[in-house]
Structure 1
């Protein structure tokens, strides 16, 4: 499936995209054929859970990074674990779908984020850190690998996130809408991409609007040991504490003009620690939806519709809250014919091709840079 094309500037390439989000569930794998401008064909997908010890080492690495211990053994061990987990995911994916190395032109390897600190102002760049070795992956798999997608943007004073807008724009263009569209990605953090009617990437606006599933996941894990509020069950059984919600909505980040970005750990659960599990989940779920509602006033114009991608779309309580708060219709990715759970893996396959062809990955309205920027680092397979 999706045989490799000649590696010329005008011909499409076959790319594998890899994504592991802040939920630490595992590795999403997606195959895509693209010329760097359009998506020619979407291939198969696969999710491969992280082994337990990989999660443990990544959690330790996140703690070390947040504490400023950049040389900690925990981070070195996590890099090895993350690299190995992604290599095994690619091997499993290729075996399952009967693919061979010569059919794959490039792998887009996002890596595992352990720290994201956007610049406070223009005086100095921020820092974003995605761990995993693209070079080892290229050597082990015998396929060229692109990683480090966010680094050039951050080095040039950008936010380093979000990075999916250019891919969102391609998908929306295929829908041929006659109004602006907002793509709402709800992972650990929630972010929005506003795409104008004409699809011009220089007019796009994108930003992290607040927490996604991250706070609720953290709360439920803290209270019960479960990794998430599955199907919004705890939130559905609780009551939103409106005074606490109003207090949480005073967070100054929510008033900042975009583009802007967050680390998953920038918002805390401190306000709800005296609540029951159910009321806490209900209040945090309402907070996520309220932050999304607040984002509307920061957009160039009201969108004609919203398309939800990412894990948050599986939470019916959150989706009901969002629909109640937004004026325009809200649809799931599947309603648009998209694969919402694999959109980010597809995105980094697409961005790998764009990187090889020196096409922009980020724009002034998506990461606050001065001009469109390409990025990514190429690691070549052994000769």
Structure 2
């Protein structure tokens, strides 16, 4: 059992950008944030990234031993030096996401981590929500609500995560409970860094376009962007979510373009889908606070600022850590799971009612 009151939680995140594992400690009671703790990061090697990418689209029952061991061992190397905590939240690595179809699959065994680490691990956060008819994503909105309270927002604010896939959370900080139907709206906006990063790896053997500098030199192919925005996903009712490679047609459409033009076009596609997302929020947010690796891309950030009627800024502008926000979210969610508090709602994943998800692997120290 998790002790009552404020606890020390460790969260980890290995996202759709496939760059590595973030880890962050948070002091929380599962409702309020009390203090941010130490953080850590461990990059996947290029070989590990390539192996994980080869397994994208695989499901439980496939032969996953090699990729599961990479993911679990890599997490352990990040988590063990963080010291003993009360509980950890382990997201695992999403290999496939098909709500309404086969379900969702985050690779990695939280029970193995708990045995090695010697403290309880909350994991498998998405499956129950999908089984109950939800999208299973995004999962950070309840944490975004707590952050809006932490920064003392006094007007609606939106958090935009530009990872491999983009997602947005609109928050009304005047509400008292994230499960309040008027407190949150959240959904995946569309592709974010994944198509640009994939292009850089394929053409230049580089992880990403540093600062968006190459994209800034290119010309946008407006016809490709217009065709992209005609995708049925953008007419789909919210909440809604995406798999990392849901927009393969967009990546294929830019193959004949120069590097700079291709990146400029992909960046403009990201901007357009965020603009479309903001247009369906209940009200215009006072601020759009950007987290994830995309906030370092000056082409994306300037394009968003030019296209939206609200302030656009990285989350650092309000004292938050954009590199670790997702990992912190899973620390926060781990405590909520352990205490039976809701982690998703109709407004965040489309599940029929607010519910908690996840499993708790109890502490059991072993040499495994």
TM-score bracket for the superposition, by shorter chain length? over 0.9
The partner residue of 2:344 within 352, 358, 362 is 362
Q: Displacement of 1:112 after TM fit?
A: 0.6
Confirm or deny that 1:298 pairs with 2:280. Answer: yes
Confirm or deny that 1:108 pairs with 2:89. Answer: yes
Q: Give the match for residue 144 of structure 1.
A: 120
Q: Give the match for residue 31 of structure 1.
A: 25
On the 8 A contact 2:186/2:349 being kept in 1, the answer is: yes
Q: Give the match for residue 248 of structure 1.
A: 228
Matches within 5 A, 1:203-214: 203=182, 204-214=184-194
Q: Which has the higher helix share?
A: 1
Q: Displacement of 1:208 after TM fit?
A: 0.3
On the 8 A contact 1:126/1:154 being kept in 2, the answer is: no
Q: Deviations over 1:118-176 (max 9, x none)?
A: 22xxxxx6511111111111111111111001111011000000000000000111222
Q: Give the match for residue 84 of structure 1.
A: 73
Q: Give the match for residue 118 of structure 1.
A: 99
Q: Displacement of 1:299 after TM fit?
A: 1.2
Q: Give the alignment's TM-score, normalised by structure 2.
A: 0.94
Q: Give the match for residue 280 of structure 1.
A: 262
- Name the CA distance, whole Å, in 1 between partners of 2:364 and 2:284: 50
Q: Secondary structure at the match of 2:214?
A: helix
Q: Give the alignment's TM-score, normalised by structure 1.
A: 0.90
On the 8 A contact 2:2/2:338 being kept in 1, the answer is: no
- Name whichever of 327-336 and 293-302 sits farther off: 293-302
The partner residue of 2:111 within 135, 150, 162 is 135
Q: 1:52 to 1:272 in 2, by over 3 A?
A: closer
Q: Give the match for residue 18 of structure 1.
A: 12
The partner residue of 1:191 within 156, 159, 167 is 167
- Name the CA distance, whole Å, in 2 between partners of 1:186 and 1:139: 33
Q: Displacement of 1:183 after TM fit?
A: 0.7
Q: 1:17 to 1:307 in 2, by over 3 A?
A: same
On the 8 A contact 1:258/1:298 being kept in 2, the answer is: no
The partner residue of 1:258 within 238, 241, 247 is 238
Q: Displacement of 1:378 after TM fit?
A: 0.7
Q: Displacement of 1:70 after TM fit?
A: 4.7
Q: Displacement of 1:224 after TM fit?
A: 2.0
Higher RCO, Cα 8 Å, sep 6+: 2
- Name the CA distance, whole Å, in 2 between partners of 1:53 and 1:244: 32
Unaligned segments of structure 2, at least 5 residues: none
Q: CA RMSD in A?
A: 1.5
The partner residue of 2:41 within 21, 43, 47 is 47
Q: Displacement of 1:8 after TM fit?
A: 3.2
Q: Give the match for residue 146 of structure 2.
A: 170
Q: Secondary structure at the match of 2:323?
A: helix
Confirm or deny that 1:371 pairs with 2:353. Answer: yes
- Name whichever of 176-185 and 310-319 sits farther off: 176-185
Q: Secondary structure at the match of 2:155?
A: coil
Unaligned segments of structure 1, at least 5 residues: 1-5, 120-124
